[in-house]
Homo-oligomer: A and B are copies of this chain.
Amino acid sequence: MHLGVFVMGTGNHPAGWRLPGAGRSNQDLGLLKGIARTAERGKFDLLFVADGLALSLSDHPSYVARFEPLTLITALAGATQHIGLGATVSTTYGQPYHVARAFSSIDHLSGGRAAWNVVTTANAAAAANFTRPGHPEHAERYALAEEFVDVVRGLWDGWEDDALVADPATGLFVDPAKVRPLNHEGRFFSVQGPLSMTRSPQGHPVIIQAGGSPAGRELAARTAEVVFAAVQDLDAARDSYRALKARLPAHGRRPEELKVLPGVMPIIGRSTAEAREILARMQAFLTPTNALHLVSIRLGHDISGYPLDGPVPDLPFTEGTQGFARNLLALARREGLTLRDLYNVTAAARGHWVLCGTVQSIADTLEEWFTGEAADGFNILPPYFPAAFDEFVDQVVPELQRRGLFRTEYAGTTLREHLGLARPENRLAAATEATAAAAE
């Protein structure tokens, strides 16, 4: 089983920060370092940092004021030794050359622990921060993302692993036969390369994807090595897991080359009833107004005008409907939820699964999902930090270890090693070898 933690200084629950002793800022480096060290104490595979490119003051408090993710995970790399470090960077508002360099650099600086969460930016307001006439359509964003990721991976292969010679006797610094341009010419990008950086410890930093739309799942099947799934129940999780794994062979990939980690917010009590009370205490801080606003953001539809105790409106799916929204709306239809029910589910964990229970029952459920082909592990969303995460690490993790489901020590040093992912071959080098062999 693989475990990640979704790091938000104010807690994953939007009102988590209001509990006594909870972290009250996502810009508190001491708190964030503490979370990273706790995750490492719990032998987690990775920690994960989200991002967005436009501010809305009514969004989740950890989105309102936060560090830039690449610099944050670099700072956390210096405070840890083993744990993988995932940062979100958008393909819609960036340049592949910059993104390839930054992640390669962090992979070097962290000793092979970097991961890139590829997003296309759902929030149309980002366009106004980047001199753009408008936010690209969903399909266009995914077409661009596909090419963007290809270019980044190509740039990561510009240097063979042993290209840097630095022989003081001869003065040869780099073996020029082992450094190659990419010469990419595509629909969206023309990028020559190579980077002015050696190949990184992991060869390629790990690629994470979370999009749940059909285009997002296709991008994941083609390029992702970790998928953060937003699912609400075991059947949906199993369907989604199997569907995603089934897409891999068409891209020449084996099922084990992609790890599916559903997001889950564990609420731990001495009884399930107590856990539900803890959740209710946090939910009580939400007003219908701000909860409906958060749900509107997740659904991509303004639902603030609908009656709170009426049925969830029958909102149409479009090609651009986010995976979160698809799953939530399907859940609402299936279970006949009211808008109040939906916001109680959604506002807690931004559309992720909320699991109330005891240490034993939470471990039971995680085991059931893991052994039941619904998950390769989980992305843990503690409702608040540090106490709720400490509880998970100190109580649930040992129970998972006792059951033989989770590691008791890191066996490797890189994130790829933690995840059981192979180090990618160097495709530019392989292409050169193939050409040379054909010429013989």
At the interface, yes or no: A388 with Cβ under 8 Å from chain B?
Answer: no
Question: In the complex, which of the residues A57, A61, A194 has the most CB atoms of chain B within 10 Å of its own CB atom?
Answer: A57
Number of copies: 2
- Inter-chain contacts of A193 with B (CB < 8 A): 55, 129
Q: Is the CB of A64 within 8 A of B196?
A: yes
At the interface, yes or no: A166 with Cβ under 8 Å from chain B?
Answer: yes
Q: Is the CB of B15 within 8 A of A171?
A: yes
Q: Which of A61-79 contact B (CB under 8 A)?
A: 61, 63-68, 70-72, 74-75, 77-79
Chain B residue with minimal CB distance to A53? Answer: B97
Given A17-B166, A174-B57, A188-B131, A196–B66 Cβ distance below 8 Å? yes
Interface locus among A22-30, A245-253, A306-314, A330-338: A22-30
Given A130-B191, A190-B131, A196-B63, A68–B102 Cβ distance below 8 Å? yes
Given A61-B173, A97-B129, A196–B70 Cβ distance below 8 Å? no
* Of B18, B109, B189, the contact of A171 (CB 8 Å cutoff): B18
Contact flags (1/0) for A141-172 with B, using CB distance below 8 Å?
Answer: 00000000000000000010000101010010
Contact flags (1/0) for A110-140 with B, using CB distance below 8 Å?
Answer: 0000000000000001001111000000000
Q: Number of A interface residues at 8 Å Cβ cutoff, please give it.
A: 69
- Inter-chain contacts of A77 with B (CB < 8 A): 75
Q: Is the CB of A70 within 8 A of B67?
A: no
Q: Is the CB of B198 within 8 A of A65?
A: yes
At the interface, yes or no: A197 with Cβ under 8 Å from chain B?
Answer: yes
Chain B residue with minimal CB distance to A97? Answer: B129
What are 15 A-B pairs with beta-carbon distances under 8 A?
A: A18-B171, A19-B168, A53-B97, A55-B194, A57-B176, A61-B166, A64-B173, A65-B197, A70-B71, A71-B74, A71-B105, A75-B78, A75-B109, A93-B98, A131-B188
Q: A95-B131, A128-B192 are in contact. List 14 more A-B contacts (CB 8 A).
A: A19-B168, A22-B168, A55-B194, A57-B173, A64-B173, A65-B196, A67-B105, A70-B70, A71-B106, A71-B109, A78-B79, A93-B98, A97-B129, A97-B130
Q: Residues on A close to B: CB < 8 A?
A: 10, 15, 17-20, 22, 24-25, 27, 29, 52-55, 57, 61, 63-68, 70-72, 74-75, 77-79, 93-95, 97-98, 101-102, 104-106, 108-109, 125, 128-131, 159, 164, 166, 168, 171, 173-174, 176, 179, 188-198, 285
For the complex of A and B, the 3 pairs showing the least CB-CB separation, nearest first, are: A78-B78, A68-B105, A128-B192
